[in-house]
């Protein structure tokens, strides 16, 4: 025999592409079509069906951006078209799909004439089942969304399509077909046989006999099938492949748990309102598959998406609930949405689980044990403790496979958080959460599985995702054929829980990864869409205030607690922590809506706070100051109120000199030159800045990443900076207490105001920027005379140390990092804290100046990416910062709370003082939340954590009567806790490990 492998492979590929795939349907007949268009928000089936439909033809243009067109298709099943002799009637709907995948273009939901949902129609999923008999007429309604393909071609070019006001009204699609078709089942199966074997063959080594067995079997099958009579010869082709398909897998083959999945971004290149419909389409597809394949298991996270289904599609929700009870449809994740985990605050990340798990328990009676976050942009080192405190056992992520620099060394491992909590974690070696179970993907999963010799099982999430769609019948066929196939991993349908139980059993001693799972990619997400991030930060702290004062008012006066109002506000905030909203990577429509929602939440919570304060303090002529923070501020106790007379005013005075300005207080002396730069800051006799390296230095960088504009901040940004040195004006404000510095650059302006903090320990900075740049990055730098080999950054319920050097590739890749309210650098005996009220992106590096090292802390203020929102961040912004020298970690923690939870003045009250509802006697133990219990029993819940990074004991004292106190998990269920010691009438004694999180429940009544 002569070698002709390449020729045979080319023949097979063309046969599959040009002969088998088009032969899926033996016959197609066009249907009668009528249509009407809704240019506004989607309407219900009942309203749509009652509208006037006009005649419509295949080949006609339709669908302005973001419109909805309802098509009505009608026909009669021809005589002889029944499910017999290997054929099956069905509808084929092609809305004008292009070659891109599902979720990024037009898609539709199909209804019966009575309004029952059948399934969705999407690219690569065109068919609709047809249960009608020969001679029967039928009518179906198709709700088609003409969503624009915002990311077409992945060029990241600016597009008007992400904003309804700029998207235009020209039709985007040409309706291609609405046909009654006769599926040729043998031909379809033959195509699936070829697709599976061809994909497997190309992954096998050239010297493996199995590769050539498959090649020659497919060659014989091509010979056996007559292209002019595929229906009559498909059986012969399948017979030629039967032997190679029946050959069993190796005994040592990699084991794959195939979990049906559809990653549905809660918002991204489409608005939230469209995600509601994407959920219905995807779940309808899944339910239709389940009715035909009882072994198929599908999982979906995000309680919010189930809630939308319940509220907007109750019949579909009931069908899902039945499949949940049967075990085929598996809720997972346990969170309200698949949240970002870098940016939400600690309490907000905890509430993702509280809200999500509560929904799953109440609606389905299930308590998911898997944290399912395949696509979030890196994972906080606080997450293991939070997840375990919510009752989770396992964690899954995929996104770390996107690392630009380093490869994650493990597939299955124990992930250790900042407090020492460990969480069994799987990182699927298939490197995708949108698998179609192709030969290439299965081979990659086997090849890249890192724990070979210790374990042999990995999970593959399969189904079209990002924009939804889910698994298809072709994917189920691939799973069936690779269940036991020589040369391929063994594929079995599974749930996430079954996979994790098996993986945990086989991997007796998992490796350990300690610290954050930093994504070496998408670093711009810490800064993009500053107003969205501001809204989140402010909402988190308003929620804390509202819950504290409402709980205090209820316990002290018996006033009604606003459970529903607070829950609705939390749900809005949790929704917008989704990993394409809060990170700033969605279209303009999404962020405009988010900002409106934050404004509404703020107004609602301000009203709750005002009402609670009035109820608590009574009505009168007194002026009182409330402090919702965990530390005393300006004479007001933590969690309490005091008369306004106790309120401490700002200290310090400015003095003009020949070279600039001096600000002198009892503990600090600041020198600002005529350029507005900090040339000297002396605290406790120690100079903060090096000569020639002043602080308060604004820098403008070119910011043009290679790809993924709003997501990415590439390392090369550092090589093109503009120093904003000379101000336009420097002047005094507020009777000489505030120094104001005005600058202009490009098309933007900046006004900075400088003063001392009320207690005189920190320099307070307010920065107003009117931003009109494009593809630029604005940073504020403080080069500090501190030799620090690491920087501490606040994360949820603690802080994380990161090196300031770049000794390794892992260090170098962390050139932009996330911090919450503060960052701290120090050396033994002296440190500096920089706090903020809305900033997350930072970088901290060491420089040499005249033979001495300094540590530069820079905060990323604003970016201006042009995709997917070309208007990102344009307009006014206000930032607040504090620079606190002679500070350790305790001072950094208190500064972060001071900036984010400033005292609140209320007027028209009768009383001025109120005892805090709860108090703690150790500043290392922080009260993070005070609220009433989720079960509406009236019990008081308090959440605390150790904030300084050491062991701490503390007495928690309640300022109210209660019958008992006990430790609970995040879901407020009793747990045994070594941290909670003696508990009695006075409160509870705590003994906490570093960063340990504790929830206490005080039973009232």
Consecutive 10-residue averages of pLDDT for the chain (1005 residues)? 86 93 94 96 96 97 98 95 88 93 94 98 96 95 97 91 96 98 96 97 97 97 95 96 98 97 97 98 98 96 98 98 98 98 98 98 98 98 98 97 97 98 98 97 98 97 96 98 98 98 96 98 98 98 98 97 98 98 98 98 98 94 94 95 71 84 93 95 96 95 97 97 92 87 97 95 98 98 96 98 97 98 97 98 92 94 98 98 98 98 93 88 98 98 98 96 95 93 80 98 91
DSSP-assigned beta bridge partners for residue 423:
415
Which tokens is 404 given? 């630009």
Q: How much is the pLDDT for 82?
A: 83
Residue among 71, 432, 68, 471 at smallest CA distance from 270: 68
Tokens 């997972």 label which residue?
A: 332
Which amino acids are annotated catalytic?
375
| Strand, helix or coil for residue 30 | strand
Q: How much is the pLDDT for 167?
A: 96
Residue among 186, 160, 280 at smallest CA distance from 241: 186
Q: How far apart are CA 370 and CA 396, in angstroms?
A: 7
Segment (H or E) for 560: none
Which tokens is 402 given? 């996107």
DSSP-assigned beta bridge partners for residue 803:
790
Q: How much is the pLDDT for 650?
A: 56
The number of angstroms, rounded, from the C-alpha of 16 to the middle of its chain's C-alpha atoms is: 39
Looking at residue 15, the DSSP 8-state letter turns out to be: I
Q: How far apart are CA 288 and CA 266, in angstroms?
A: 23
Q: How much is the pLDDT for 646?
A: 57
Q: How much is the pLDDT for 675?
A: 93
Q: How much is the pLDDT for 647?
A: 54
Using alpha carbons, list the distances in angstroms from residue 76 to 79, 289, 434.
9, 25, 37
Q: How far apart are CA 43 and CA 576, in angstroms?
A: 24
Q: How far apart are CA 399 and CA 620, in angstroms?
A: 57
Torsion of CA 498, 499, 500, 504, to 10 degrees: 100
- The answer, as to whether pTM is greater than 0.75, is yes
Residue partners of 245: CB distance under 8 A and separation at least 6: 193, 196, 197, 481, 485
Q: How much is the pLDDT for 516?
A: 98
285 by Cβ neighbours in 10 Å (0-12 / 13-18 / 19+) ranks as buried
| Other Cβ atoms within 10 Å of 564 Cβ, number | 8
Query: Per this entry, what is the length of the chain?
Result: 1005
Which tokens is 713 given? 């901040």
Q: How far apart are CA 292 and CA 296, in angstroms?
A: 9
| Strand, helix or coil for residue 725 | coil
Q: How much is the pLDDT for 651?
A: 66
Q: How far apart are CA 637 and CA 919, in angstroms?
A: 9
Residue among 737, 781, 761, 765 at smallest CA distance from 837: 765
Q: How much is the pLDDT for 345?
A: 98
797 near 385, Cβ under 8 Å?
Answer: yes
Q: Which residues of 344-377 are buried (b: 16+ CB within 10 A; e: fewer)?
A: bbbbbbbbbbbbbbbbbeebbeebbbbbbbbbbb
């Amino acid at each position: 025999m002569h070698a002709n492998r390449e020729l045979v492979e080319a023949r097979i590929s063309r046969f599959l592409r040009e002969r088998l795939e088009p032969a899926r349907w033996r016959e197609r007949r066009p249907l009668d079509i009528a249509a009407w268009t809704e240019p506004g928000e989607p309407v219900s089936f009942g309203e749509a069906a009652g509208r006037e439909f006009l005649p419509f033809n295949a080949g006609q243009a339709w669908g302005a951006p973001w419109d909805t067109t309802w098509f009505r298709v009608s026909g009669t099943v021809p005589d002889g078209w029944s499910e017999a002799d290997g054929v099956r009637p069905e509808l084929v709907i092609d809305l004008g799909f292009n070659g891109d995948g599902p979720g990024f273009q037009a898609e539709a939901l199909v209804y019966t004439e009575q309004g029952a949902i059948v399934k969705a129609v999407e690219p690569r999923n065109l068919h609709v089942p047809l249960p009608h008999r020969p001679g029967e007429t039928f009518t179906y309604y198709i709700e088609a969304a003409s969503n624009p393909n915002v990311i077409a071609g992945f060029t990241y070019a600016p597009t008007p399509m992400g904003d309804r006001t700029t998207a235009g009204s020209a039709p985007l699609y040409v309706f291609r077909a609405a046909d009654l078709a006769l599926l040729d089942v043998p031909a379809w199966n033959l195509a699936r046989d070829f697709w599976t074997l061809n994909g497997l063959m190309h992954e096998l080594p050239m010297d493996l006999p199995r590769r050539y067995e498959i090649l020659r079997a497919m060659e014989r099958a091509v010979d056996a099938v007559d292209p002019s009579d595929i229906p009559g010869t498909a059986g012969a082709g399948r017979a030629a492949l039967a032997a190679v398909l029946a050959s069993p897998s190796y005994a040592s083959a990699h084991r794959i748990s195939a979990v049906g999945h559809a990653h549905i971004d809660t918002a991204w290149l489409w608005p939230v309102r469209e995600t509601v419909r994407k959920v219905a389409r995807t779940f309808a597809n899944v339910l239709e598959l389940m009715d035909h394949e009882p072994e198929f298991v599908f999982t979906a996270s995000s309680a919010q998406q189930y809630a939308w289904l319940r509220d907007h599609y109750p019949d579909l929700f009931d069908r899902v609930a039945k499949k949940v009870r049967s075990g085929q449809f598996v809720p997972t994740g346990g969170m309200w949405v698949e949240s970002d985990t870098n940016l939400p605050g600690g309490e907000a990340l905890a509430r993702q689980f509280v809200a999500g798990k509560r929904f799953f328990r109440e609606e389905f009676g299930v308590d998911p044990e898997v944290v399912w976050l395949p696509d979030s942009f890196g994972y906080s080192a606080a997450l293991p403790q939070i997840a375990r405190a919510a009752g989770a056992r396992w964690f899954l992520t995929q996104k770390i496979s996107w690392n630009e620099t380093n490869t994650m060394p493990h597939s299955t491992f124990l992930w250790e958080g900042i407090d020492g909590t460990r969480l069994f974690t799987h990182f699927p070696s298939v490197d995708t959460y949108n698998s179609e179970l192709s030969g290439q993907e299965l081979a990659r999963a086997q090849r890249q599985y890192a724990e070979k010799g210790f374990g042999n099982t990995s999970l593959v999430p399969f189904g079209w995702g990002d924009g939804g769609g889910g698994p298809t019948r072709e994917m189920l066929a691939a799973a069936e054929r690779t269940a036991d196939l020589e040369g391929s991993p063994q594929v079995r349908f599974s749930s996430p829980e079954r996979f994790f139980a098996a993986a945990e059993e086989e991997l007796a001693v998992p490796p350990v990864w300690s610290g954050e799972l930093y994504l070496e990619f998408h670093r711009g997400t810490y800064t993009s869409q500053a107003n969205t991030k501001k809204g989140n930060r402010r909402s988190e702290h308003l929620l804390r205030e509202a819950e504290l004062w409402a709980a205090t008012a209820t316990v002290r006066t018996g006033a009604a607690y606003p459970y529903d109002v607070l829950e609705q506000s939390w749900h809005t905030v949790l929704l917008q922590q989704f990993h394409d909203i809060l990170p700033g990577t969605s279209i303009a429509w999404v962020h405009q809506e988010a900002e409106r929602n934050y404004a509404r939440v703020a107004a609602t919570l301000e009203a709750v706070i005002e009402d609670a304060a009035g109820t608590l303090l009574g009505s009168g002529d007194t002026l009182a100051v409330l402090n919702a923070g965990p530390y005393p501020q300006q004479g007001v106790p933590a969690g309490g109120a005091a008369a306004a007379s106790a309120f401490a005013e700002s200290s310090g005075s400015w003095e003009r000199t020949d070279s600039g300005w001096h600000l002198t207080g009892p503990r600090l002396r600041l020198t600002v030159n005529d350029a507005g730069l900090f040339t000297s800051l002396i605290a406790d006799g120690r100079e903060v800045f090096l000569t020639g390296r002043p602080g308060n230095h604004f820098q403008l960088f070119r910011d043009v990443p290679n790809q993924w504009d709003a997501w990415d901040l590439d390392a090369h940004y550092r090589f093109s900076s503009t120093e904003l040195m000379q101000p336009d004006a420097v002047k005094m404000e507020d009777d000489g207490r505030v120094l104001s510095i005005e600058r202009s650059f490009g098309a933007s302006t900046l006004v900075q105001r400088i003063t001392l903090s009320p207690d005189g320990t920190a320099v307070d900075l307010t920065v107003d920027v009117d931003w009109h740049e494009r593809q630029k990055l604005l940073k504020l730098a403080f080069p500090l005379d501190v030799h620090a080999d690491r920087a501490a950054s606040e994360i949820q319920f603690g802080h994380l140390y990161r090196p300031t050097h770049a000794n390794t590739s892992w260090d170098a890749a962390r050139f932009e990092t996330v911090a919450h309210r503060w960052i701290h650098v120090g050396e033994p005996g002296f440190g500096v804290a920089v706090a903020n009220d809305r900033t997350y992106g930072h970088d901290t590096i060491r420089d040499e100046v005249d033979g001495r090292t300094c540590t530069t802390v820079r905060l990323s203020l604003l970016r201006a990416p042009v995709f997917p929102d070309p208007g990102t961040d344009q307009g006014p912004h206000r930032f607040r910062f504090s620079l606190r020298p002679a500070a350790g970690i305790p001072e950094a923690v208190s500064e972060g709370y001071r900036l984010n939870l400033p005292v609140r003045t209320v007027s028209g009250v009768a009383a001025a003082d109120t005892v805090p509802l709860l108090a703690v006697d150790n500043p290392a133990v922080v009260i993070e939340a005070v609220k009433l219990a989720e079960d509406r029993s009236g019990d008081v819940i308090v959440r605390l954590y150790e904030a300084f990074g050491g062991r701490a004991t503390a007495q928690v004292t309640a300022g109210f009567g209660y019958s008992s106190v006990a430790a609970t998990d995040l879901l407020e269920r009793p747990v045994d806790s070594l941290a909670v010691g003696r508990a009695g009438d006075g409160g509870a004694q705590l003994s906490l490990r570093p960063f340990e999180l504790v929830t206490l429940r005080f039973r009232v009544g």
